[in-house]
Amino acid sequence: MDTEFFSLAAGVGTKSSNGEWLEVFYPAPFFQPDAWLVDALASVTGYQGGNQVIELDSTTCHALEEVFLQHNLLDHTLVLGALEASQNPRVLTFLATDAAPASTPEAYLKLHLISHRFVKPRSINLDGVFSLLPNVAWTCRGAIDPAELPHRQLAARSRGEVLRVYSIDRFPPMVNYVVPSGVRIADAARVRLGAYLGEGTTVMPAGFVNFDAGAEGPCMIEGRISSGVFVGAGSDLGGGCSTMGTLSGGGTARVSVGKNCLIGANAGVGIALGDRCTLEAGLYVTAGTKVSLLDDSGRVVDTVKASSLSGRSDLVFRRHSVTGAVECLPNRSSIALNESLHNN
């Protein structure tokens, strides 16, 4: 990517009363756009290079609309037409490189790129993203600065209305910004912007997918995919199960789940699983868990830390029902998802 322009996008967003960005919506971002397009948009906006956020007025939006129309980019022409008529703040964000985001609009564009499936989790630089995303009241009237919420609630009540507040959070629901094709999400609030959901993925009501995390698809997600975790195609995360992220606690090991894996209900994993691995329901395997290795005849041949098994395929992790010891043995079968459940 060093020689390619990273991304650019036109968007519309919300600011607080003191002029701080709360959020930005990018309907149709470009990933690795052609040089001629960057040059054409730069000629209209005065972009000089580097990573830059340029605020737009209606005149500039119209000029950009003409550029897209001239090159038969009809979807983007419609976007700029809508932005031209908008009364909300509008931007054109240029990301020449995949450097750490330096502003709220830049951070939002990078989260959009993941949810639009242009890039996969853990593949782009999101360093410092928390400090760039303000805490926002997500309401039926859009994003509101929490400090302004009491006044807005009172104003709504005086009109006989109720200002519904859905959450106070840095991250909004993904589907308010990006709706990937071929997915089902039972509870939209449980999938954050910056999640990656591959074709055929189903997220059940108790499922949760954090930002910079996701599933290749098709997958069944009834548990939690923590930030930084990516799940391979054909895997099933049972109800109440969890994957250990690295947002807190100082951990640096990256947890992932391979293809055609099963993590049982209320189980959890703190190591990388290879393909075709199974964790028994209720069993939580962390990097330091002592594991008894069994051969095909069921004999213990060694005892190791689970971290030494990280990334290996075709394993079954279970707990001995009498001794309580965590055991690992070869997996002689793999799960198969119900295809009709993932035809979304």
Known catalytic residues are 222
Q: What is the spatial distance between Cα 245 and Cα 213, in angstroms, rounded to a whole number?
A: 9
DSSP 271: S
What's phi and psi for 92, nearest 5 deg? Answer: -120, 115
Q: Measured in whole angstroms, how far is the alpha carbon of residue 196 from the centre of its chain?
A: 5
Strand bridging mode 7-15 / 30-31: antiparallel
How many C-beta atoms surround the C-beta of residue 273 within 10 A? 29
CA 103/CA 248 separation, integer angstroms: 23
Nearest to 82 by CA among 137, 35, 25, 143: 25
- Give the closest residue to 10 by CA, choosing from 71, 69, 60, 70: 60
Find out whether the peptide bond into 105 is cis, omega within 30 degrees of 0.
no
Q: What is the token pair recorded at 66?
A: 């003409």
**Paired tokens of 265:** 């209900």
